[in-house]
Chain A
């Protein structure tokens, strides 16, 4: 460690051949004393300020403990909010006081003289490098790895294989299984009743008035609906059921019998990146995806009228059973959700 004036002189680079010494290293600027360095009254004032900040922290800590016992949440939203607010503010005071005091102390009262610490050369001496190489060579000779070929092969193989014990379970667990055919099918089968989400009541065609929208899940007993498997499968099976004025509905020839008196059912999973498409505008028959504003025209086969989605929403063909409940005729006409590498049937 040395004073800065001395070290800065070492840093000035001498002009080499063909180079001009364009500017000299100005070095560290001259040290300026702070008010607290020269004026004892200023130092005393700074000390007092630091003490006040620490005292604020002490008050904050005591206040935290006081409000913890004094303001108990009694279950109402307002009481929980008040308790959190009081605790948060007093804890802020407690920690912020210490932080501000420490910084202010360091800035005003602790020494602020610039110091330069010389860095020693990083390269080891030639003798030390030669000695290190010798030690390594001696070790290799001593182990006999060059002579014993089988041993060499065994150690390389063992060390090389070991990472598999971590890699194989890790990679295998990521996908759980690689059965992509699961993406092609949902829980909907011929005759499955359409039920309301989340209450699970089956829906009759007569329940739907024009302009009605129902968020639909496949009908299942309540115990089954609580199982992990069902909840996972539900993610693919959600349907939006909409009743339009049949006069507004334009249907392709091959889909004429997929709707029932103006009631149509479409997958709720956006064909762009799989968000739930559910913002239905009754007057325009447009169905809007909240994520990227893809818009589908429900009156016209859920074709894309705006946004990044490329394909219409898959349609669920529906009919009614003997008791008047809406049922699925079959699974969706194509895999639901965004495109994936093997989505074609």
Chain B
């Protein structure tokens, strides 16, 4: 310590201090800087691999240049978010025609999905996948999310996200199992029948609030059995079959003579 104190007037001391300060600043920045979004890290390799995956899995319907066909939309400008949602939830590649593409076990793994997303994102500017912070339910305001969800989403997806029917065999799926990232991407891109809620009409904070509200619903109901949260259908069935059945049973027992 003494030796260090003796050298503090050395003429090279400012240089040493400056170097130390730069090192500390750089170190702190490296530790605290936000991780860049995955879409930005796509390399040309990713895009090339993505193009191959596209030709193998998607081009039959969406066309060799993703320009779309009669029954398959153009993918130019849909962005990485749409690919990550559609492929990540297994909706695409679609296996059969029907009223709507349904979620199934994913056909491409996470890395392949990312490469495919990088390729589609390279075709034209579109919404990119959200960061982990943007979809963190812990950071959202579930109370505001409830108000936003009631106005914008509950008419199709049910008040607690249990899903509901649309016309001609289409339906709004239940949101119990959907990951926060996929919920965010669905709002951003409007897959299939769902309308688009872009960042101007529903801000990223509001989207996170909605996710927070939906994740909170997964704890179930404070009142006990929520019977699927389906409202009068399941509750009515329960009351009419189990409730009235029990009342009839009691009446028969009270009226019967004892042996």
Contact = CB atoms under 8 A, between A and B. Distances in A.
Interface in A266-295: 276, 278-284, 286, 288, 290, 293, 295
Nearest to A79: B222
Contacts of B234: none
A173 interface: no
A77 B216 CA distance: 9
B189 to A, nearest CB: 9
Interface stretch (A12-20, A129-137, A205-213, A223-231): A205-213
A34 B167 contact: no
Contacts of A286: 167
Judged by DSSP, the binding face of B is loop
Interface residues of A, number: 47
Contacts, number: 103
A279 B157 CA distance: 10
Nearest to B223: A84
Contacts of B152: 213, 215
A295 B224 contact: no
A207 B151 CA distance: 19
A111 interface: no
B190 A211 contact: yes
B156 A212 contact: no
B167 A103 contact: no
Interface residues of B, number: 35
A72 interface: no
B198 interface: yes
B166 A204 contact: no
A133 to B, nearest CB: 46
Nearest to B189: A211
Interface in B122-176: 147-148, 151-152, 155-156, 164, 166-167, 170, 172
B154 to A, nearest CB: 9
A288 B166 contact: yes
A203 interface: yes
A103 B254 contact: yes
B200 interface: yes
A108 B258 CA distance: 6
Contacts of B29: none
A282 B254 contact: no
Interface of B: 147-148, 151-152, 155-156, 164, 166-167, 170, 172, 190, 192-198, 200-202, 206, 216, 219-224, 253-254, 257-259
A157 interface: no
A280 to B, nearest CB: 5
Nearest to A109: B258
A207 B202 CA distance: 10
A300 interface: no
A298 B198 CA distance: 20
A213 B224 contact: no
B197 A80 contact: no
A112 interface: yes
A295 B254 contact: no
Cβ-closest 6 pairs across A and B: A207-B200, A213-B195, A80-B222, A77-B219, A278-B155, A211-B196
Contacts of A209: 196, 198
Nearest to B255: A107
Contacts of A77: 216, 219-222
A210 B202 CA distance: 15
A204 B200 contact: yes
Interface of A: 32, 34-36, 76-78, 80-81, 84-85, 88, 103, 107-108, 112, 196-199, 203-204, 206-215, 242, 276, 278-284, 286, 288, 290, 293, 295, 306
B254 A212 contact: no
6 contacts: A35-B259, A84-B223, A207-B198, A209-B198, A283-B193, A284-B193
A81 B193 contact: no
Nearest to A281: B193
Given A196-B202, A197-B151, 6 more contacts: A76-B219, A77-B216, A81-B224, A196-B201, A215-B152, A282-B194
Contacts of B190: 211-212, 282
B208 to A, nearest CB: 14
A203 B201 CA distance: 7
B222 A306 contact: no
A196 B224 CA distance: 35
A84 B164 CA distance: 29
A81 B221 contact: yes
Nearest to A280: B195
A78 B219 contact: yes
A55 B150 CA distance: 49
A100 B148 CA distance: 49
